[in-house]
Amino acid sequence: MTTKNIPTVKLLINGEFVESKTDQWREVINPATQEVLARVPFATPDEINAAIANAKEAFKTWRKTPIGARARIFLKYQQLIRENMKELAAILTAEQGKTLADAEGDVFRGLEVVEHASAVGNLQLGELANNVAGGVDTYTLLQPLGVCAGITPFNFPAMIPLWMFPMAIATGNTFVLKPSEQDPMVTMRLAELAMEAGIPAGVLNVIHGGVDAVNAVCDHPDIKAVSFVGSTHVGTHVYNRSSQAGKRVQCMMGAKNHAIVMPDANKEQTLNNLVGAAFGAAGQRCMALPVIILVGEARNWLPELARKAQTLKVSAGVEPGTDVGPVISTAALERVNGLIQKGVDEGAELVLDGRNPSVPGYEDGNFVGPTILAGVKPGMSVYDQEIFGPVLNVMQADSLDEAIEIINANPNGNGTAIFTRSGGIARRFQEEIDVGQVGINVPIPVPVPLFSFSGSRGSKLGDLGPYGKQVIMFYTQTKTVTARWFDDDEQAAAVNTTITLK
C-alpha cells in the first residue's frame, strides 16, 4: 500500500474534522500484524493554537448554556456509544491489540463516566446558608474554569478520553484533547459521535502529536487545567511544566500494584483472579497486578498458578478465545523481553517463560506470553520498574505484617489487594496499607464513577482525581456570594467601619 492510499487521522478544530498541514506524520500500526492502518499527523503550532483559540471563543457562550441542555447532550452521547459499541471495539482492537471483549470493556468503563456526566445537574450544586447575619445569606457557585486539556495514554484509548472531556464539558468548560499518537483512531470515532450528540463547534477540539504538542498544552496561557494519564516520567514533566505555568493539574502515573494472598483465601477464585489481573490486556494497565506476595502456606500455590497461566491463549485480539493479545509496539516487546532476561540475570527464578510464543498466522506480531518470575526482591529491575507487559513477579512473606511492610515501602500507591476469608485481616489491611485504592478479594479495584479514582503517593500528582465528586471540584472554581437585600422603605443604618455583619 502506498502512502497515498493510507487513511489519515484528522484534527478536530472548531467543529470540523480537518486535514493537518504538517510535514510530520507517524504510522498507526496493528500490533498483531504490523499492518499500517493510518497515518497520524503531528499538528503544527498554528493548528494547536487555532484549536485552543476556538475553545476559548466557544467558552464565552458554552459556559452560559443551561445545565439541563448540557446534560441532554451526554444522554444522547451515551446512547450513541452503546449503539456503536461493536464498531468502537473493533477499531480499538485493530490499533491497540486488546481482545474484542477487553476492548468493549475499555469503551464501557468510559461510557459509565459519560452517564455520570449526564447527571451533572445533581453534581454541580453549590451551598447556601440562610441568615448568616441579620438579613444576610451566603451561597456558593461552582463555575467552569475555561479551556481545559487532556493528554491520554495508548493503553486505554477509549476509556481515558471518556474520563476527561465529558466531565469537563458537562461542567461548562471547553476542551482540547491530545490522544496517544500510537492509537488515536478509536478516540477520533468517539469525537465524531460526540459531535453527532450535539456538542457545539469549538467546545471539543482534538490535536495530535508528541512532546511538542504536550509542551504546547502545558505552556499555553489560555489553558486553565490539564489532566494527564500515562507514565511517571511524562506525568512528572507535565505536572511541573503546567504547574509552573499556573494551571491546575492532575496526573495519574505509573504503578507497581501488589496483591497479598493469605493462606485462608478461596484458592480457586483467588488463582483465577490473579491470572486475569496479571495477564489480561497483556499487562498493559496501570491497575494491572504485576506483583503478588504469597503469605505462609499460600506460597505452595505457585505451581498451580503457573499451570493456569499456561492455559491462556496468546493470539491476535480478533481471534476467538484469545486471552492475551500483543503489546503495543516492537519497542515495547523488546523492552518486556529485556526486563525478563534482566530479572533472570539478577537472580529471579523463571517459573514460566512467555517469550517468543508461537502464534500461527501472526508471526510478525508483538507477542509475549504469560511470564512468572519467583524469588523477586526489591532492588531487582523487574520489581523497581513498571514492566507494562504480561509478567508476574512473585514474592513471599511469613506474615501479613511483613507483606504490608513490603507494599508500603514501594514508592507507588495506585492500587493494592488482599485475598482472604477473614474480615479481621481484611480490615486491618485496609487500615494499615498506604495505597490509594484497595481491593478486598477484588484484584483491580478501580472504582465506579460515583466515587473518585484515588491513586496516591508516587502514582499521582495533584490533589484531585479524575471522575467522581473530585473531578467536579477540579473542573470548577468556587465563587462565594454574600448578599443582603433592603426593602425600599427600610431606614438606613449607621455607618459601620468594621467588617462584622450583624
List the catalytic residues.
286
Q: How many CA atoms lie within 13 A of 433 on its CB side?
A: 30
Q: What is the largest CA-CA distance in the chain?
A: 91
171 DSSP assignment: T
Beta bridge partners of 17: 12
Cα–Cα distance measured from residue 264 to residue 298, given in angstroms and rounded to the nearest whole number: 8
Give me the long-range contacts of 340-346 (CB less than 8 A, separation at least 24): 340/368, 340/371, 340/373, 340/382, 340/391, 342/381, 342/382, 343/373, 343/376, 343/380, 343/381, 343/382, 343/391, 343/393, 344/373, 346/380, 346/381, 346/382
- What are the φ and ψ backbone dihedral angles of 332, each rounded to 5 degrees? -65, -40
Show Cβ contacts of residue 208 under 8 Å, excluding neighbours closer than 6 positions. Answer: 9, 11, 20, 40, 41, 42, 43, 178, 179, 181, 184
Comparing C-alpha atoms, which of 15, 17, 104 is closest to residue 55?
Answer: 15
Q: CA quadruple 333, 339, 273, 431: dihedral positive or negative?
A: negative
Element (H, E) at 337: helix 330-345
Q: 3-class DSSP state for residue 121?
A: helix
396 DSSP assignment: E
Cα–Cα distance measured from residue 184 to residue 190, given in angstroms and rounded to the nearest whole number: 10
CB contact at 8 A, 468 and 112? no
CB contact at 8 A, 262 and 420? yes
Show Cβ contacts of residue 68 under 8 Å, excluding neighbours closer than 6 positions. Answer: 121
Q: What is the dihedral of CA 39, 44, 47, 52, to 10 degrees?
A: 110
CB contact at 8 A, 475 and 462? no
What does the angle CA 482 – CA 488 – CA 492 come to, to the nearest 5 degrees? 70
C-alpha cell at 220: 499555553
CB contact at 8 A, 225 and 148? yes
C-alpha cell at 201: 463547534
Cα–Cα distance measured from residue 191 to residue 468, given in angstroms and rounded to the nearest whole number: 22
CB contact at 8 A, 300 and 271? no
